[in-house]
């Protein structure tokens, strides 16, 4: 995953990984995150077949879900 402090965009796989918690050990599925994009709840750009989410958007989205990134 690299150094997340220096990353400017995240993949859905990374966001799913960030969403893991004690209450939800599997985190969000990529299918769920795709639905969130379709609903307009998560802004992403598609590049080479991957959805990419800007760092600030990921932080904002996860905080709405009560998930705080430690970065």
Q: What is the pLDDT of residues 22-51, one digit of tens each?
A: 888 999 999 999 999 999 999 999 999 999
When pLDDT is averaged across residues 5-28 and rounded to a whole number, the result is 90
Give the range among 12-16, 37-41, 65-69 with minimum mean pLDDT.
Answer: 65-69
Of 31, 30, 33, the residue nearest 43 (C-alpha): 33
Model pTM score: 0.85
42, 33 Cβ separation under 8 angstroms? yes
pLDDT category of residue 1 using cuts at 50, 70 and 90: very low
d(CA 46, CA 58): 15
């Amino acid at each position: 995953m690299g150094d997340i402090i220096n990353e400017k965009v995240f993949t859905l796989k990374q966001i799913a990984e960030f969403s893991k918690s004690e209450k939800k050990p599997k985190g969000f599925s990529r299918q769920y995150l795709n639905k969130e994009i379709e609903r307009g709840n998560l802004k992403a750009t598609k590049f080479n077949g991957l959805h990419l989410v800007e760092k600030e958007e990921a932080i904002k989205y996860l905080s709405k879900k009560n998930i705080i990134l430690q970065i």
